[in-house]
């Protein structure tokens, strides 16, 4: 069976990109990364991709007239690579509704909170300020509204009494590195179906029981 070709969009260091690269290196993984695109030439993730022998491209958002022109250039590059799915991995640009519509249910993102809680930036600071007992991360299909769309997978991380934003972010990132490749596998295997605005994963069941924090 042919592997699903994926384009990954990044803006920075590419740690989630690396988790996808590592997963795709397995011979039995059902997806392969055809292209990594960054809007910043200095993004560390481009070096990660090059080291793995993956094609890269830089599309500078400052070098085009507007968001629509930038997204049009993105779309051309992705389609030229043969990719059938787009993965956002720390891509710090807002996409136009037209681009999102063109890739509807074929574009996924990972966000460092348990959506719909704390969309946008500074998620860990906001979770700590709110006194949350759990934080986490979410893989979801992308919609035009920021950090919305059918949820594919989530991972919860207990918040410790001595946590700060840095320590919490580090543990959440470890969870991100686990669930993003897992969600990509499910999508590539054709196990994820969007019904309305909910994503159903065939053969996947929720664990029994509950996590309790604090567990005193």
- Active site amino acids: 111
Q: Which residues contact 49 (CB under 8 A, 6 or more apart)?
A: 8, 14, 17, 21, 33, 36, 55, 56
Q: Contacts by 122-126 with C-beta closer than 8 Å and gap 24+?
A: 122/165, 124/165, 124/168, 124/169, 124/172, 125/165
Q: How far is Cα 172 from Cα 124, in angstroms, rounded to an integer?
A: 9
Q: Which of 49, 51, 69 is nearest to 60 (CA)?
A: 69
Tell me the backbone φ, ψ of residue 124, rounded to 5 degrees.
-70, -40
């Amino acid at each position: 069976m042919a592997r699903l070709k994926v384009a990954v969009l990044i803006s920075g260091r590419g740690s989630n990109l690396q988790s996808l690269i590592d997963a795709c290196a397995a011979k039995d993984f059902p997806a392969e990364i055809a292209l990594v695109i960054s809007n910043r030439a200095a993004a560390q993730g481009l070096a990660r991709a090059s080291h793995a022998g993956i094609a890269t491209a830089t599309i500078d958002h400052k070098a085009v007239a507007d968001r629509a022109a930038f997204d049009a250039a993105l779309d051309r590059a992705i389609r030229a690579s043969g990719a059938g799915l787009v993965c956002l991995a720390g891509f710090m640009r807002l996409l136009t509704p037209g681009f999102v519509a063109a890739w509807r249910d074929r574009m996924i993102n990972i966000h460092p909170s348990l959506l719909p809680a704390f969309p946008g930036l500074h998620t860990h600071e906001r979770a700590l300020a709110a006194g949350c007992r759990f934080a986490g991360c979410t893989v979801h299909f992308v919609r035009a509204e920021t950090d919305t769309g059918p949820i594919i997978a989530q991972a919860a991380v207990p918040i410790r009494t001595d946590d700060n934003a840095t320590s919490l972010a580090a543990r959440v990132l470890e969870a991100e590195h686990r669930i993003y490749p897992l969600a990509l596998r499910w999508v590539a295997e054709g196990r994820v179906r969007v019904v309305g605005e909910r994503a159903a994963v065939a053969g996947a069941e929720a664990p029994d029981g509950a996590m309790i924090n604090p567990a005193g």
